[in-house]
Amino acid sequence: MSRRATRSGRLLAAGLVALAVLGFAACGGDNGAVRSGGGGSSDGSGGTSPASGGTSAQSYVGLSRRAAIAKAKSEGREWRITREDDETFPATLDYVETRINFEIDDGKVTTATFG
């Protein structure tokens, strides 16, 4: 096989791998652990903003997983779990004002942020 053919084959293979990685990243790789529900907001810092309805993200900290999800749903907020115990779940990097993100340890919310 010529050097040119080998080089072309390598470039084609590298391009296909790059496309596959980008395609997977665009899908978010949702394994069912990151879930969404209804509407809300803030600046992502865990504080409040007018769009958050005055609710602080910190008001979720200490709640059980189930209670935090129920509270988010009752307030009409989108939500997702970004980390639970030692498992971090794939998540999109887009900023969504209406979404609250939960980190959970031993069944309790330890971190909650809007965005």
User: pLDDT tens digits for the chain (115 residues)?
Assistant: 555 556 666 766 665 565 555 555 444 433 333 343 433 333 444 555 445 566 789 999 999 999 999 999 999 999 999 999 999 999 999 999 889 999 999 999 999 999 9
Q: Rounded to 5 degrees, what are φ and ψ at 37?
A: -140, -145
Residues 62, 17: Cα–Cα separation, whole Å: 42
pTM of the predicted protein model: 0.57
Confirm if 107 and 95 have CB atoms less than 8 A apart.
no
The secondary structure of the chain in percent helix, strand, coil, rounded to multiples of 5, reads 35, 25, 40
